[in-house]
Amino acid sequence: MPATVGYIGLGDMGGAMSETIAASYDLVVFDLSEEAIAKVVDKGARAAESGAGLAAQCDHISICVPDDAAVMDVVSGTDGILDACRGGTSIAVHSTVHPDTIRDLSALAAERDVVLFDAGVAGGSWAAREGSLVIMLGVPESGIGELARAVIDECAGAVFEGGPIGAGMAMKVAFNVMTYLQQAALSAAHQIVLGEYSDPDMLIEAWRHAGQLGTLTERFYPLVSMPPEVKSGPLGSYLATTIGIAEKDLDLAVNLGLESGRRMPVVEAVRDEMRLVYGMPKS
């Protein structure tokens, strides 16, 4: 009997990943947004009425919801998936959360003969649709099953095993620190050249020549150079959500630093000014 895969959380990243997975697997999806579900169903997926209803059908489940509280609710809350999972099911958490959240839920899942592990994703929704994401894994002692790895490979251009459970998520948080600080640097540099009537496009060319401009940072550049009046309506709402995610991820990085005995004032500063980085007015 063919394997059935589930995906919970169909936002920007989850929706893109699920569309890619639907092309190769019998995919069941669930989200609080009926509109988000409909988009993936149009790509060949089937809709579940709840997380538990999804879990009862699936051999592997991917989760991409906003934060720690949402992941915990999906996995172990009321109508959570753990109670409905069959023995041997695997669960990959793609949400950016505290490594301890992964460790705690992994231990809880193991009591039910379910393997839960972290699989942090980076690269943007465009990379998910291309199958070129960077995916960072925390590997359980029992290893990652063949089906789980095949589903991950469907969306990935590169997969890195960061270490044991939780290590992939730590790697993802660190990855995000670099991403957002590069965005902050580009935004500040852009303001400098504009203020002195220099050509920001020539600065981009200079960065390219010196190898200072990565793909993710260059994709951010059109947003920085966009006039403020354009950043309104649906785009403004999307940017507000994106900024909120950035602030949440950087706050997580700050807290992980404090837990290891090291303050991160530069990360704190960028976290507190992400709206400025994106050229958005203070809320």
Local confidence band at 153 (pLDDT 50, 70, 90 cut-offs): very high
Query: What are the residue boundaries of the structural domains of the chain, listed by start?
Result: 4-164, 172-277
Instruction: Identify whether the C-beta of residue 15 lies closer than 8 Å to the C-beta of residue 37.
Output: no
Q: Does residue 65 register a pLDDT over 60?
A: yes
Query: What are 16-38's pLDDT values in tens digits?
Result: 999 999 999 999 999 999 999 99
**DSSP structure class, residue 225:** T
Name the nearest CA neighbour of 9 among 127, 94, 77, 84.
94
Residue 46 main-chain phi, psi, to 5 deg: -110, 150
Residue 12: Cβ within 10 Å count: 16
Cα–Cα distance for residue pair 15/152, rounded to 1 Å:
15
Span of 41-45, 160-164, 191-195, 222-226 with lowest mean pLDDT: 222-226
Q: Tell me, what's the pLDDT at 227?
A: 86
Reduced to 3 states (helix: H, G, I; strand: E, B; else coil), residue 5 is strand
**For the chain, percent of residues with pLDDT exceeding 90:** 90
Q: Does residue 177 register a pLDDT over 70?
A: yes
Residue 58 main-chain phi, psi, to 5 deg: -110, 150
**For the chain, percent of residues with pLDDT exceeding 70:** 99
Instruction: Tell me which CATH code domain 4-164 carries.
Output: 3.40.50.720
Q: What is the mean pLDDT of the chain?
A: 95
- The CATH superfamily holding the domain 172-277 is N-(1-d-carboxylethyl)-l-norvaline Dehydrogenase; domain 2 (1.10.1040.10)
Instruction: Identify whether the C-beta of residue 88 lies closer than 8 Å to the C-beta of residue 81.
Output: no
pTM of structure = 0.95
Cα–Cα distance for residue pair 114/121, rounded to 1 Å:
22
